[in-house]
Structures are given as C-alpha cells and as structure tokens.
C-alpha cells in the first residue's frame, strides 16, 4: 500500500476542493496508535507522517491538533517554520484530516501545546527534519554539518556553497523515523516562534472569505434538519409523514429508532418540514426541581474517588482553634456557540466523507463508521472550523446526524442545527456543589482542610466507541456513560490534580510522597460523581473552574477568619515556586495593598468597590495563573461591575504573545460572563434556556473592564497549556472582590443581583463584617 508521499502532496489540495475520496482505499495498513488512541493508518513514528518538502520549497506539515479560534493553526505554523528555518509563508499546515494527518485524539484540555511544542510529535518531527536536511546537505556539499547554516530553506556552507531544501528532497520521502535525540532550536535563538506573528486567518475572517464548515458546499448537496424529542428520555410513538406531504422539495423523512430528521432540497424547505412534521412522543421522566438541585445532588448514589486523604482531618479539626465550613455551588452552564452547529456528510456505498467541526476527527470517524455500519478505512473526516466551541458543543452530534441523513438519502447532506437543537441538547458544563471544612491554629495557620464535591455527569465526548455520550447516539439506542456508584478506594500512586479538586494549599501526600503545591498535611479531597439528568461534557476548564471557585473563595474565607492579607496568607500555605511566582507578579502588577478583607469602613448604601485575588496551578501542572479582580457593587440593585483585571500567567515558553493575550482576555471575560449571568434553567420536563433570551451572555454593549496581562517565564521549563488557565480563577477572583467591597460572601454562581442582595442581607444579619 506504500502510497508515495508526493502523491499525497499532489492530491492534498485537490482533495479538499474536489471532494474526491480516491486515495482512501489505499490507506488501510494498520499500525498502533499513540496518545491512547486507536490504530491508524498514519504512523506517528515516521517523519513522513508529519512533514514533507515539496519541489516548490513548500513545507507541508500534518497535525492532529486543530484550530477553532484559539490560534493553534498559526502557532503550529510558527513552530514548523522555526524548526526548519523558513519563513512562515513557506509552511502549509493541514489539520485533522483523517486521510492524511496523524491521529492525535482530541484537541482539548489545553493539551495541544504540551503535546506538540515540547520534545515529541510535531516539534520532534520538525527538529528531526531540519537535522535530516542538514545531514543530506553535508553529504551533497562535502562539508561537515557544523559548517552549514540555514536561512529560509537555503543551506549555505562556510565556503559559500548553497543548496535548497527542495534540491535535497523535493517531493521525496524522508524515509526516517522521528529521532528522539533531535534537538529543538533554543528558545533564545527563536526568530519565528515566540514572536507576535499576526494570526494567519485574520484577513480572510475580517473580509468574509474564511470557509467555515457552515460554508462547505458539495455538488448535489441536500439540506437536513433534525426533529428532537420535546424532552430527554421521550421516545417516538408515531411519526406522521403525511403531515409534511405538502412541502415542496421534501426528499425524505428519516426515522431510525428515536432519531427523526428530514431532508429537503433547500434549507428553507428543510426548516419548514422540521417545524411542520407531526411526531407523537412518549414522555420522558420528570426532572428534579432546580431550586433544590444541589441538595438533590448530595443525596444521590455516587461513584466516589479520593484524590488525597491523610486520614486525620477529623482529629485535627477537633483540635483546631477555630473551624469554618461552607458550601459552594456552581450551576450547569452552556458552551452556547454563537453559530448553531453544522456538518456536511457525503455517504456513498463505497466511501464516506464528513466535513466536521469536531475537536476529535479520528474518534468521530470511528463513531460514524459504527453508526453507518461502514468499514473504518472507508470513512474520512475532514476538520473544518465551526463557531467557537469552548469544548464539546453540538459539533459531534451534528456530524453524526449529517452522516445518518446522508446515508438515508444516498446524497450529500448539509445538516444545520437550529438554536434550540444546539442549546436544548448540548453536553452541558457539569453542575457541582462543594462542601468545605477547615481549621485554623491559634497562630492563624491552616491546620487541616477537608472537602467533598458532588458533580453531576451523564455522557461525555463519544471517544472512539461511545456514541451514546451525545444525543444522537442515545436516540439511536446507545447508552451514555454513567457514574457507577461505589465507595472510594484509598488514594494510590502518584498525586494528580487533573480536575483541580485539590486546593493549591494541600501538600498532596500519597504514601509519603507529596506532589501538592502547598503545605497543609492534614488533607482530604473526596469526589462524588452522580448521575446528571442532562448530558454533560467538557466545557472550557471542565470541573477545574467549578472546583477552583470553591477552593479559592473558601481560602478567602479562611483569610478573613485569620484576619490576614489574602496574598500573604496564600503565600504562607504555598510551596510551589511557580504558583508563588504568579501570585507575587499579579499582586505587584495590580499595586496590591496588603490588608485583610472586607475593606474597612465601606458604606452600606450606594456604590462600593473592592478587590479580590485567586490563583491556580491548572490541572496541577499545566500552567499557572493568578488574577486580581477589581469590582464595583451597587448596593441598591445588587449589580456587580468588574472594572479591572490584572492577570499573571506562567505557561513556560510562549509561542505567540499576541495570540496568548487574545486567549487570556477572552478567557477572563468569558469567565466573567459565566460568573455573573450564565446559568442553565429547566422546568419539570426540559431545559428552558434554549436561546439568547433565556440563556444570558454578556453582549457587545457590556461596559467591559480592562485586562492587564503579565507573563512570568521561568528558564528551562516545558511549554504548558494556556487557554483555560485564566478563566479557571475568574469567578473566584470576582467573588472575593465582592466580599472585599461589601462583606457579603457569594457562594453560588452566577452572582446575579438577587443573589448579591440576598448575600448582603445575610451578611448584615450575621454582622460578618463592617
């Protein structure tokens, strides 16, 4: 099957524009997959799987990490240009096309940078390629490699002899494995990476030329819409196809178990048919009441897991000079992509092509093969950008829907969700409630900290084999992933803090090995995962934002009890130099005045202002940030207005400071919207926040605060993720600033005016401060 790479190269461009799936049948060899993924026909151990040098000098790179607006397309192009010593214009990056790109699983979890920008995968491939080209040049020019320099793909010897990359390899295979000893170019010498190169998609975006998945048009393409149940768990009783008989251009009503969709010649006809089709549904189960939902969560059977347990928290708390406890709650929130999800599928008897905005091209390919009962090697998924997703939005489900509809009519189908399809059925960010207890010694140190959280989950990313994790699969009869109730085993192995369950102030000791960021050795963190009545899935900073809101606000409560400055008190309980570094940097940049909260002498009427701080080691070791929030609070209305954010971020070497600032600003403001207004609502049957009038988001007219960003970059550390770090601490920093301004503690997101007013009343009653 050895398809020459040059054939790939010739066909790449044509494949994308002509929608041919010709070479697919040639790509059937199996080799073990990396990244915990399934076997793929693209061997990531081979250099040719990642890079090719064309006879025009263009370097084509293939990546399994795709750009949905976070800027990874530009920085991966910079990476390849940097390592190969060429201008960025010479790099052509192809992202997440399962026929030609390596399987790198899902683009998620702030993992693209750690995966592709350190010493493996794309970075290693590019370094291997540069060394291989230099070694070829050395042979050709008859001079040692040390005598050669490269500039924009031209290798020059000390004697002045020259050869171009394409003269060495143009259109030929490297035929080499990745060389684990290949050396990355040193950060100090970077000329392309590390620079604020303007994002490569900019001009096309601003001038309306950019091709989103929504813009894909295939000859002979029809239009699909789905008809979802009125509520989760409802099943089809009867579909009255006669009800849409009068709709011109209707091609087919597609029913498969509880999946219902329509296909028509135009979008308008498909929309009309979906609205008009009469479907009788058997009702689903009743939903738990929203008003008591967090109490409900705490009573459910749960899958328990301990992150850390020193087994002495009760004893130490009994000895403490003072103990405080509190419960923090975080609602379901939405990805709420501004564009309703869309995909295009062309299912032929012999091959399947799906243009999809999924973050998981290869897993989506596996699921589609399963749903259509097609051999895996006949299915190709081509990533095309959709509307920003921030995690698992409707992109996967709509891709499955498109494939189902196309198979049913035997023609290409463009499937477009309605706003309600998107918002009623997406995999929500999990609701979570956290119960915390901690004790202080007489000297003001924290002596013990205990925390338990209850998190609601059902479904997830579908991965390679769980279609039931999103709505389409469930309608087709597949089960979603559910928590399996059971008691917790004692923590074992290496300390991990993937979901930021454990506060930064814990020593994190398991069997004598301490991997936490802090000094508190009497520590327990127990998670109860319970069944959610709604689909859930990763939403930017999944569980990390929920847990950190609770941990960092509770830390602030301990500061108050200790009558200590929030920065100094945190430093007292931290030992990780990188967390300490960002905390100090943020405080300094914000001209933080050391004092305890609440701010002394604030009035009980009118507008007040305050500041709060929060910090995190994202996922324990994947980026570090501290954030100072300054807010105004109107005591009459309960309205919170953030005025200024100052953030310090440490993500190791920075690939593109402009792109990073864009991500940080977006993350903090998105975090602010989530902290202030975003909350999924439901009644006894169904989700009721299904459009932009029922689900709140801050519009462009919002009086935005300023965001100031400081980078902390220690020497000789690997690159970490950065897109989810700042958002993780935003609700906590705002909550702490509200307390500083008012003396009222907000323990439930979002901080809506009624909740703020209720907290003000509560604090006045308790005389908590002022």
Partner 1 sequence: MREKIALNVNGQHHLVEVDPETPLLFVLNDDLGLRGPRFGCGMAQCGACTVIMRGQVVRSCVMPVSAVGQDEVTTLEGLGTPEQPHPIQQAFIDEGAAQCGFCLSGIILTAKAVLDLKSDASDQEIRHALGGVLCRCFTHIRMLRAIRKYAEEKRT
Binding interface with partner 1 (CB under 8 A): 68-71, 198-199, 201-212, 214-215, 217, 248, 266-269, 271, 336-340, 342, 385-388, 390, 416, 418-419, 658-659, 662-663, 665-667, 669-670, 672-673, 691-693, 697-704, 706-707
Find, among 152, 114, 130, 167, the residue nearest to 50 by Cα: 130
What is the b/e burial string over 556-571, where b = at least 16 CB atoms within 10 angstroms of the residue's CB? bbbbbbbebbbbebbe
Nearer to partner 1, 34 or 412 (CB): 412
Which lies closer to partner 1 via its Cβ, residue 377 or residue 422?
A: 422
Q: Which two tokens stand for residue 659?
A: 């792109």
Joined tokens for residue 96: 């997440």
Closer to partner 1 by CB, 199 or 472: give it: 199
Considering the complex, what minimum distance in angstroms separates the CB of residue 418 from partner 1? 6
Between 567 and 660, name the residue whose CB sits nearer to partner 1.
660
Shorter beta-carbon distance to partner 1: residue 389 or 475: 389
Task: Please identify, using beta-carbon distances, which residue of 208 and 490 lies nearer to partner 1.
Answer: 208
Q: How far is the CB of 478 from partner 1 (least distance, A)?
A: 28
| Buried b or exposed e, range 157-182, using 16+ CB within 10 angstroms | beeeeebbbbbbbbbeebeeebeeeb
Compute the least distance from the CB of residue 649 to partner 1, in Å: 16
Q: What is the smallest separation between the CB atom of 643 and partner 1, expressed in angstroms?
A: 13
If we measure between CA atoms, which residue out of 707, 721, 695, 68 comes closest to residue 429? 695
Least Å distance between CB 123 and partner 1? 24
| Residue closer to partner 1 (CB basis): 186 or 207 | 207
User: Nearer Cβ to partner 1, position 332 or 554?
Assistant: 332
Tokens of 565: 């400055």
Could you tell me the smallest distance in angstroms from the CB atom of residue 320 to partner 1?
A: 41
Q: What's the min distance (Å) between Cβ of 357 and partner 1?
A: 10
CA–CA distance from 666 to each of 130, 182, 523, 638, 700 (Å)?
A: 35, 36, 34, 25, 13
Rg over CA atoms, the chain: 27
For partner 1, the closer CB: 282 or 694: 694
Q: Which three-class secondary structure state does DSSP give residue 692?
A: coil
- Cα torsion at 32, 38, 39, 44 (round to 10°)? -60
Residue 35 or 645: which CB sits closer to partner 1? 645
With vertex at residue 81, the alpha carbon angle to CA 162 and CA 578, rounded to the nearest 5 degrees, is 135
CB of 197 to partner 1, least distance (A): 10
**Residue (255 or 647) nearer to partner 1, CB:** 647
* Nearer CB in complex with partner 1: 360/576: 360
Half-sphere exposure of 587 (CA within 13 A, CB side): 20
Element (H, E) at 343: strand 342-347
Q: Which long-range contacts (CB under 8 A, 24 or more apart) does 11-16 make?
A: 12/60, 12/94, 12/100, 15/97, 15/99, 15/100, 16/97, 16/382
Give the whole-angstrom CA distance, residue 257 versus residue 496.
42
Q: Cis (ω within 30 of 0) for the bond into 598?
A: yes
Closest by CA to 363, choosing from 348, 383, 343, is 383
For residues 452 and 501, the answer to whether their CB atoms sit within 8 Å is no
Distances (CA, A) of 447 to 441, 460, 505, 563, 588: 6, 37, 11, 16, 28
Using the minimum distance from each CB to partner 1, give the nearer residue, 85 or 270. Answer: 270
Structure tokens at 115: 């995966």
Q: Which two tokens stand for residue 731?
A: 């609700």
- Least distance to partner 1 from the beta carbon of 270, Å? 10
Taken in order 110, 111, 112, 115, the sign of the CA dihedral is positive
Closer to partner 1 by Cβ: residue 84 or 649: 649
* Dist CA 508 CA 383 (whole Å): 40
In this complex, which beta carbon is closest to partner 1, that of residue 42 or of residue 344? 344
- Report the nearest approach of partner 1 to the CB of residue 317 (Å): 40
Q: How far is the CB of 212 from partner 1 (least distance, A)?
A: 7
The least distance separating partner 1 from the CB of residue 349, rounded to whole angstroms, comes to: 27
Quote the least distance from Cβ 42 to partner 1, whole Å: 27
Neighbours of 339 (CB within 10 A): 19
Q: Which residues pair with 344 in a beta bridge?
A: 355, 414
Show the tokens assigned to 483. 């928590």
What is the largest distance, in Å, between two alpha-carbon atoms of the chain? Answer: 86
User: Residue 416 Cβ, how far from partner 1 at the closest point, in Å?
Assistant: 6
DSSP character for 167? H
Q: Are strands 446-457 and 379-383 parallel, antiparallel or unpaired?
A: unpaired
**Smallest distance, partner 1 to C-beta of residue 214, A:** 6
């Amino acid at each position: 099957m050895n398809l020459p790479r040059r054939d790939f190269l010739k066909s790449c461009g044509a494949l994308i524009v002509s929608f041919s799936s010709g070479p697919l049948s040639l790509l059937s060899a199996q080799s073990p997959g990396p990244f915990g993924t399934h076997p793929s026909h693209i061997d990531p151990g081979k250099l040719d799987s990642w890079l090719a040098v064309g006879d025009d000098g263009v370097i084509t790179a293939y990546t399994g990490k795709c750009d949905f607006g976070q800027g990874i397309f530009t920085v991966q192009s910079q990476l390849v240009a940097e390592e190969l010593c060429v201008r960025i214009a010479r790099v052509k990056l192809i992202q997440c096309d399962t026929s030609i790109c390596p399987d790198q699983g899902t683009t998620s979890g702030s993992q693209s940078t750690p995966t592709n920008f350190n010493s493996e995968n794309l970075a290693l491939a590019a370094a291997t390629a540069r060394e291989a080209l230099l070694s070829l040049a050395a042979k050709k020019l008859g001079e040692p490699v040390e005598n050669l320099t490269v500039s924009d793909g031209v290798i020059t010897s000390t004697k002045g002899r020259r050869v171009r990359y394409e003269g060495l390899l143009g259109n030929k295979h490297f035929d080499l494995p990745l060389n684990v000893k290949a050396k990355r170019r040193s950060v100090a010498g970077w000329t392309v990476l590390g620079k604020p190169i303007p994002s490569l998609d900019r001009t096309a975006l601003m001038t309306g030329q950019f091709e989103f998945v929504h813009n894909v048009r295939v000859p002979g393409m029809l239009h699909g819409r789905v008809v979802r149940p009125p509520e989760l768990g409802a099943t089809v009783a009867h579909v009255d196809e006669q009800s849409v008989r009068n709709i011109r251009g209707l091609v087919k009503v597609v029913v498969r178990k509880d999946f219902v969709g329509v296909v028509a010649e135009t979008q308008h006809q498909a929309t009309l048919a979906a609205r008009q089709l009469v479907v009788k549904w058997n009702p689903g189960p009743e939903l738990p009441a929203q008003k008591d939902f967090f109490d409900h969560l705490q009573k459910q059977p749960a899958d328990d897991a301990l992150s850390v347990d020193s087994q002495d928290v009760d004893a130490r708390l009994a000895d403490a000079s003072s103990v405080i406890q509190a419960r923090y709650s975080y609602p379901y929130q939405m990805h709420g992509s501004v564009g309703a999800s869309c995909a295009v599928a062309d299912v032929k008897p012999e091959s399947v092509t799906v243009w999809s905005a999924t973050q998981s091209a290869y897993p989506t390919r596996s699921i589609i093969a399963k749903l259509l009962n097609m051999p895996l090697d006949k299915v190709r998924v081509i990533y095309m950008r959709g509307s920003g997703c921030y995690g698992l939005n409707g992109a996967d489900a709509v891709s499955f829907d498109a494939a189902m509809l196309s198979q049913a009519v035997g023609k290409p189908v463009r499937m477009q969700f309605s706003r309600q399809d998107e918002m009623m059925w997406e995999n929500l960010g999990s609701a979570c409630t956290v119960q915390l207890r901690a004790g202080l010694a007489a000297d003001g140190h924290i002596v013990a900290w205990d925390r338990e959280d209850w998190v609601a989950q059902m479904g997830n990313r579908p991965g390679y084999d769980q279609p039931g994790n999103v709505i389409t699969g469930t309608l087709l009869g597949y089960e979603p992933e559910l928590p399996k109730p059971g008691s917790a085993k004692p923590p074992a192995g290496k300390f991990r803090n993937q979901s930021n369950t454990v506060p930064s102030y814990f020593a994190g000791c398991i069997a004598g090995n301490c991997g936490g960021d802090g000094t508190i050795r009497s520590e327990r963190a127990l998670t109860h995962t319970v069944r959610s009545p709604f689909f859930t899935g990763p939403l930017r900073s999944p569980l990390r934002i929920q847990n950190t809101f609770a941990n960092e606000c509770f830390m602030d409560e301990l500061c108050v009890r200790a009558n200590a400055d929030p920065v100094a008190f945190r430093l007292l309980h931290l030992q990780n130099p990188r967390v300490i570094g960002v905390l100090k940097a943020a405080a300094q940049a914000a001209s933080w005045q050391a004092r305890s909260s609440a701010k002394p002498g604030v009035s009980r009427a009118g507008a007040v202002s305050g500041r709060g701080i929060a910090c995190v080691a994202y996922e324990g070791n994947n980026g570090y940030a501290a954030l100072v929030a300054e807010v105004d609070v109107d005591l009459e209305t309960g309205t919170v207005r953030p005025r200024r954010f100052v953030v310090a971020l440490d993500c190791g070497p920075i690939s593109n400071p402009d792109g990073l600032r864009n991500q940080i600003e977006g993350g903090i403001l998105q975090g602010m919207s989530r902290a202030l207004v975003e909350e999924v609502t439901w009644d006894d049957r169904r989700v009721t926040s299904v459009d932009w009038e029922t689900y709140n988001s801050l519009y462009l007219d919002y009086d935005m605060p300023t965001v100031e960003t400081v980078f902390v970059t220690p020497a000789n550390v690997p690159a970490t993720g950065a897109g989810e770090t700042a958002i993780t601490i935003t609700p906590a920093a705002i909550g702490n600033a509200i307390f500083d301004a008012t003396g009222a503690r907000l323990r439930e997101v979002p901080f809506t005016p009624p909740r703020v007013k209720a907290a003000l009343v509560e604090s006045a009653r308790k005389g908590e401060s002022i």
